[in-house]
Amino acid sequence: MPELIILGSANAVSDTQHENTHMALLGEKRTVLIDCVSNPLVRLQQANVNHHQITDLILTHFHPDHVSGVPLLLMNMWLLGRKHPLNVYGLHHTLKRVEALMDFYEWSHWPEFFPVVFHHLPERVNIPVLACDEFDIIASPVRHLIPTIGLRVTFPQRDKVLAYSCDTEPCPEVIELASGADVLIHEAGGATHGHSSAAQAGEIARRAEVGRLYLIHYPTYGPDYEKLLPEAGRTFGKPAALAEDFMVLDF
């Protein structure tokens, strides 16, 4: 049964209980990382995910709290003897910067490096990212400070749908991505340029008619973040939940 593991739930400022937002989608044949931060192999070990299982990496946008772990992931996989390819997906804006970053590490000179296949996605709505027997993933641009994608994951064998807003202001693209979804994971970083408040996340979830709303990418410093739940619930019209580190959602 496919499952999604929340590897981190905090906004750009993490703490000891909440890593920056990223997650892993696990199937029988493919395991997909959605963004990559901190020390990836340590985080995967803590979540009981074997790094050898990782087949794909989706990078939503080029901000440090979403891509800072990529060089360490690639280097550690290489040092631990990986031979099979890794597929990396993202907008051209994201991937050309990731490739440039790796060039600073002179990775082309690392001997016998495993194949890394970059898939540059066009910046338009409902772009197919990857498909397998257990899940199909599409992406659409959302409204953040730089080019960014949100995701819709369909589980055809289970007749279930998951949507992820990524970092974004409220926008029609997220409503479309999340339309009728069983689960929407929506950021709640605050009502600032490029981000959404918990109340705005609730409104998006209500308009998209989703079954369940999880708040993610929320501030863990300062006010009690659990106060976000009633804020989202008022606009959603039913209870919302917090995405917490190492939470597992089964599909």
Give residue-wise pLDDT tens across range 32-58: 999 999 999 999 999 999 999 999 999
Distance CA 238, CA 196 (A): 19
Reported as type and span, the H/E element at residue 239 is none
pLDDT, residue 222, reads 67
Q: Which amino acid is at 100?
A: A
Distance CA 6, CA 67 (A): 16
Flag the least confident range among 29-38, 137-146, 224-233, 236-245.
224-233
Instruction: Enter the pTM of the model.
Output: 0.97
CATH number of 3-250: 3.60.15.10
Q: Which amino acid is at 94?
A: T
- Does position 193 have pLDDT exceeding 70, yes or no? yes
Residue ranges of the domains in the chain?
Answer: 3-250
Average pLDDT over residues 99-114: 96
Distance CA 74, CA 210 (A): 36
Radius of gyration of the chain (CA): 17
Q: Which one, of 204, 214, 197, lies nearest residue 236 by Cα? A: 204
Within 13 Å and on the Cβ side, how many CA atoms surround 14? 18
Q: Which one, of 117, 122, 156, lies nearest residue 251 by Cα? A: 156
Average pLDDT over residues 65-86: 98
- Does position 224 have pLDDT exceeding 90, yes or no? no
